[in-house]
Amino acid sequence: MLVAIAMADIHAIMRIERLPGYDAFIGRWTGEEHAAELASPAARYYGWRVSDGRLAGFAIFQKLDQPVIQLRRIAIDAPGAGAGTQLLRAALDRVMETTSAAAIDLHVMSDNARAQWVYLREGFVREGEGAPKHDRMVLTRGAWAALTRREARP
C-alpha cells in the first residue's frame, strides 16, 4: 500500500538504497540528506508498505513547485515480483492527482534496459540525454490520463 514516508522510515530507505546492485543505478544519500529532502516543501517521499508493516520500497519526487516534477529515485527491496510496478503506478497516480504538474520526468541510466522498459510501458517517452550516461524520460499529464483510463489501476 502507498504511504507517506515519515522521518522514522529513513533507515528503511537507506537499507533499500544499499541493496546489492542499486549503487550503480539509483544512488544513495546519508540520513541527513534524506532528512533535509524529506523536510523540503518541494519534495515528496512515498513508500510501499507490505502487509507485515515493513517498508518494501520508496519513491522520491522533487520540484513539486515546478510544472515538471522530477522522479528522483525509486527502489524496491525485492525486484521482479511486481511490487515495483505497483509502487510506480500508485506514486505516479498520487502525484498527478494531487498536483497541477504538466509532466513528470526522470533520468535513467542508459544501460538500465529493465528500468527503461518499465518506464516506457508506463507511458514515459524518451526526451533525449540527461546527465552523462543517462536518458531523460517524460510522462505528460495527457499520457498518464490516457493510460489510467485504459487500464485498471491498483
Quick: pLDDT tens for 6-40: 999 999 999 999 998 787 778 899 999 999 999 99
Q: Total structural domains in the chain?
A: 1
Lowest mean pLDDT among 6-10, 84-88, 110-114: 110-114
Q: Domain range spanning residue 114?
A: 2-150
Residue 3: partners with Cβ closer than 8 Å, 6 or more residues away = 46, 47, 48, 49
| pLDDT mean over 124-140 | 82
pLDDT of residue 131: 63
State the CB neighbour count (10 A cutoff) for residue 96. Answer: 18
Q: What is the CATH number of the domain that holds 142?
A: 3.40.630.30
pLDDT at 153 over 60: no
Which of 108, 148, 150, 100 has its CA nearest to residue 125? 108
Q: What is the pTM assigned to this prediction?
A: 0.90
